[in-house]
C-alpha cells in the first residue's frame, strides 16, 4: 500500500472515531466513560494521517513515485469498513444478541443486607439490581413496593416475553444480557427489540436461562408502556 493510501485510510478512520465520539453514536459500541480516550485516539489518528499525506506529497524521488504507481490497488479495500462506520450506524445490541448469550449472573452484595429502596409511590430499578435483590435477598427489600424497570423485549424459548438489557464490561464485543421473566399483564404480541417501561411487583417465581442454566428472576407486571430507546442503551 502506498504512503498516500495509508494516510487516507488513517484520516478516514480517525474521522470516523471522532464523529462517533463527539455524538451519542459511540454509546452503541463502548461504555460512556471511554469517551475521552476515543476522542484522544481519533485526534492522534488524524494528526498521523495529515503528516503521512504531507510527507507523501513531499516525496520527490522517482523510485518512490514508481513504487506508489504500481502499488496494489487492493489496499483501497481497507476503506470499506471505515466508510461503513462513517455512513452506516449499526443498531445497539438487542434481542438477537440476548437470545444467543446466557444471562449474566446477578451478584450478591456480600454479607450485608440490601439497603432499603428510596421512598415514593414507585421505585426505578435497573434490571441487575432487581435480579440481585430478587435472587439473593429473597425479595425482602422489594416486597410491597411498585417497581419500574426499563429494557427491550425479547422472547423466551416457550414464546413468553422477557425484559432484557445488555451489560457491558468495556465494549459491545463483551456485552452480555441480563434477562427477567415477566408474568401478570406482560406485553404480549409486541415485537422484539421494542423498548418498554414496566411497572410491577416482586414475585418469587424463578426460571432458568436455557443458554447457560443460570437462575432468572421474574417480575409481576401491573402495567407497561412503550418508550424510546434510551441514549445509553447498555447497562
Contacts of 209 (CB under 8 A, 6+ apart): 102, 103, 179, 215, 216
Domain count of the chain?
2
Both 133 and 218 in a single domain? yes
Both 77 and 186 in a single domain? no
Specify whether the CB–CB gap between 35 and 26 falls below 8 A.
yes
Selection from 217, 229, 199, 206 nearest residue 91 by Cα:
229
Residues of the domain holding 46 = 3-90
Domain end (from 33, 61, 90): 90
pLDDT of residue 224: 97
pLDDT of residue 204: 94
Flag whether 235 is in a domain.
no
Domain end (from 39, 58, 90): 90
Both 113 and 29 in a single domain? no
| Cβ-based neighbour number of residue 65 at 10 Å | 12
pLDDT of residue 66: 53
Domain end (from 57, 90, 123): 90
Both 219 and 103 in a single domain? yes
End-to-end CA distance of the chain: 41
Both 172 and 118 in a single domain? yes
- pLDDT tens string for the chain (235 positions)? 577 777 777 888 888 888 888 887 777 777 777 788 888 888 888 888 888 878 877 764 544 555 555 545 655 666 666 666 666 666 778 899 888 888 887 666 665 578 889 888 889 999 999 999 999 888 989 998 999 999 999 998 888 999 999 998 777 777 899 999 999 999 999 999 999 999 999 999 999 998 888 999 999 999 999 999 988 888 7
Amino acid at each position: 500500500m502506498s504512503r498516500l493510501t495509508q494516510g487516507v485510510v488513517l484520516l478516514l478512520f480517525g474521522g470516523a472515531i471522532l464523529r462517533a465520539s463527539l455524538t451519542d453514536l459511540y454509546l452503541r459500541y463502548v461504555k460512556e466513560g471511554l469517551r475521552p480516550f476515543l476522542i484522544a485516539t481519533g485526534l492522534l489518528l488524524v494528526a498521523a494521517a495529515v503528516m503521512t499525506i504531507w510527507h507523501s506529497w513531499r516525496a520527490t524521488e522517482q523510485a518512490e513515485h514508481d513504487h506508489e504507481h504500481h502499488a496494489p490497488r487492493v489496499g483501497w479495500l481497507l476503506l470499506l469498513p471505515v466508510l461503513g462506520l462513517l455512513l452506516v450506524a449499526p443498531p445497539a445490541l438487542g434481542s438477537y444478541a440476548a437470545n444467543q448469550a446466557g444471562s449474566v449472573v446477578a451478584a450478591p452484595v456480600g454479607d450485608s443486607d440490601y439497603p432499603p429502596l428510596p421512598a415514593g409511590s414507585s421505585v426505578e430499578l435497573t434490571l441487575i439490581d432487581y435480579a440481585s435483590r430478587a435472587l439473593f435477598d429473597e425479595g425482602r427489600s422489594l416486597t410491597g413496593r411498585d417497581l419500574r424497570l426499563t429494557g427491550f423485549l425479547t422472547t423466551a424459548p416457550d414464546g413468553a416475553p422477557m425484559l432484557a438489557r445488555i451489560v457491558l464490561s468495556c465494549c459491545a464485543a463483551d456485552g452480555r444480557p441480563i434477562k427477567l421473566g415477566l408474568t401478570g399483564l406482560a406485553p404480549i404480541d409486541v415485537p422484539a427489540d421494542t423498548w418498554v417501561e414496566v411497572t410491577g411487583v416482586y414475585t418469587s417465581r424463578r426460571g432458568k436461562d436455557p443458554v447457560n442454566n443460570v437462575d432468572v428472576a421474574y417480575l409481576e407486571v401491573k402495567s407497561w408502556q412503550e418508550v424510546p430507546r434510551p441514549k445509553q442503551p447498555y447497562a
